């Protein structure tokens, strides 16, 4: 899983055009990401990174670990509920939008 994490960091750095000397060399942790952000590297907090990484893992098919954390970690449970509410709101809006099209 550390390998997937390193790949994900590289992807984020590529997207943000981080020069090679400012890229993270080593595992992504609270301290290492904070250190890189201070030195002009990838501007992301560890708390935000791990959420994004989890979503990335979900797209890769690691359902077990994603479901587990989303049901056991309180902050993720709330986040999931919030997302579900947003989705429901969007679904309610959609019919109106479709009706507007002649």
Partner 1 sequence: MSSPTLEQSLGGNPSFGSNPEEEDLSVEEQDLKIALLLDRISQNAGVKGRKPDVVRNIEELGERCSKFGLLPDALETALDVVLSKKLDDTTAKKLVKLLLPRAHVPEDCAIKIMGCLGRYSRGVEAVLLRWLIIVYDYLDGRTKFVKLYGVAFHYLSYETLRLDIQTSVGRELPLTGLLHVYKSYFPDLILMPLPLSNRAIFKCPNQALASKIMDIRAQWKTSSALALSVEANLTGSKKPLVKIGSAKRQKLAHSTIPDAFTLYRKGQDTKNMPLAQITSLSSLVKHIDTLALPDQLSSILSNRLLQHVFCLQPSSSLISRIGYWLGQELVDLWFWGEKTAASRERFGNVLQKIVEVTVLIKDLFPVVETFLMPFLRMWNGREHQKEIFTLLSYLRPRSFEELYAFFLKPLQRIFYNSGSTWKGALLLCYRRLLQRWAQINWRGHLSPDRGYVISPKDYKSMQGLFTKLSLNVDYMKTMQEFIMHVDRMATVAFEEDENNVAVQHGVLSFLDLASSLPIKFRVPMAVIIPDSTIVYRCFLADSGMAMSRICGIILQFKNAFESFETEQQNYQALLLEYEHNQQEQVQRDQSGSGESSNSLPPLPPPPPNNVPGYSRDYVTFFNSFVMDICNFLWRSRAFNKTDKNARGFQVDS
Of 7-15, 36-44, 58-66, 87-95: span binding partner 1 (CB under 8 A)? 58-66
What residues contact residue 52 under an 8 Å CB cut-off, 6+ apart? 8, 12, 44
At 28, is the secondary structure helix, strand, or coil? Answer: coil
Kindly state whether residue 77 participates in binding partner 1, applying the rule CB under 8 A.
no
The CA distance from 60 to 52, in Å, is 13
In the list 8, 62, 79, 80, the residue contacting partner 1 (rule: CB under 8 A) is 62
Contacts with partner 1, 21-40, as mask; x by CB under 8 A: --------xx----------
Kindly state whether residue 72 participates in binding partner 1, applying the rule CB under 8 A.
yes
Binding site for partner 1 (CB under 8 A): 1, 4, 29-30, 50, 57, 62-69, 71-73
């Amino acid at each position: 899983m550390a390998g997937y994490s390193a790949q994900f960091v590289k992807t984020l750095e590529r997207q943000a055009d981080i020069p090679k000397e400012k890229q993270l060399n080593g595992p992504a942790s609270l301290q290492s990401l904070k250190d890189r952000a201070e030195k002009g590297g990838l501007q992301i907090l560890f708390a935000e990174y791990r959420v994004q990484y989890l979503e990335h893992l979900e797209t890769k098919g690691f359902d077990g670990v994603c479901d587990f954390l989303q049901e056991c970690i309180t902050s993720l449970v709330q986040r999931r509920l919030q997302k579900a509410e947003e989705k429901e709101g969007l679904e309610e809006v959609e019919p109106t939008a479709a009706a507007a099209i002649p």
